[in-house]
């Protein structure tokens, strides 16, 4: 499993994770985020990632 931590989880990066990164590695999980808008960053996460972050 690939565990990914990110700085800034805005629209651009969340779309990259959901499409490009997952296509390359289906077992990828976002496990840590640093973002000034915590609530919006959590909303952008996939269901499986919400439990890990």
The neighbouring-strand residues paired with 30 are 4
**Domain coverage including residue 48:** 3-52
Specify the pLDDT at position 15: 95
Specify the pLDDT at position 20: 95
How many domains is the chain partitioned into structurally? Answer: 1
The pTM score is: 0.79
- The pLDDT tens digits for 4-38 are 999 999 999 999 999 999 999 999 999 999 999 99
Q: With bands split at pLDDT 50, 70 and 90, how would you rate the model's confidence at 46?
A: confident
Specify the pLDDT at position 47: 82
């Amino acid at each position: 499993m690939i565990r990914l931590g990110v700085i800034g989880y805005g629209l651009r990066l969340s779309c990259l994770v959901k499409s490009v990164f997952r296509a390359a590695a289906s077992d990828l999980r976002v496990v840590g985020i640093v973002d000034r808008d915590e609530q919006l960053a959590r909303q952008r996460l996939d269901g499986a990632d919400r439990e890990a972050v």
